[in-house]
Amino acid sequence: LSPRDQGYIEGFVAASGGGGVVQGNVFEKDSGASSNDSGTPSGSSPPEKSISSTPSEGESERAATPEQTVKIETTSFKKWDDKLSLNDSKLVFDVLETEHFLILSVDSRNERNTAEHAERMWRGMAAEHPSFASKWGSNKYAIALTTDEEVWAELGAYGVKEMQAAGQFEEADSTKKTWERAALGKTNLASEIQMKYELFPQMLSAHEKIQSSFDGVWSSLRTHPIASEMLLVQMGGFSINVSDGIYMLLRSHSFYKEIKLCGRTTTHILSAEADDSDEIFSRGGFDDSKNWPRIAKTLLRKGAKPTLSDLYTVKATDISAEEILFLYGLGAYMQGTVGRLRDYAAFIDQIDAFNSVLPPADLAESFGFPDEAAFHEAWYAWMASTDFR
pLDDT value at position 187?
A: 87
Report the amino acid identity of residue 173. D
How many CB atoms are located within 10 Å of the residue 371 CB?
Answer: 11
For residue 165, give Cα distances in angstroms to 169, 171, 178, 191. 9, 12, 19, 10
pLDDT value at position 87?
A: 76
Residue ranges of the chain whose pLDDT lies below 50: 1-46, 50-54, 57
SS3 200: strand
pLDDT value at position 171?
A: 79
pLDDT value at position 49?
A: 52
The alpha carbon dihedral of 196, 166, 242, 33 has a sign of negative
Q: At how many degrees (to 10) do helices 246-262 and 321-335 cross?
A: 80
pLDDT value at position 290?
A: 81
The 8-class DSSP code of residue 37 comes to T
Of the candidates 171, 183, 180, 172, the one whose C-alpha atom is nearest the C-alpha of residue 213 is 183
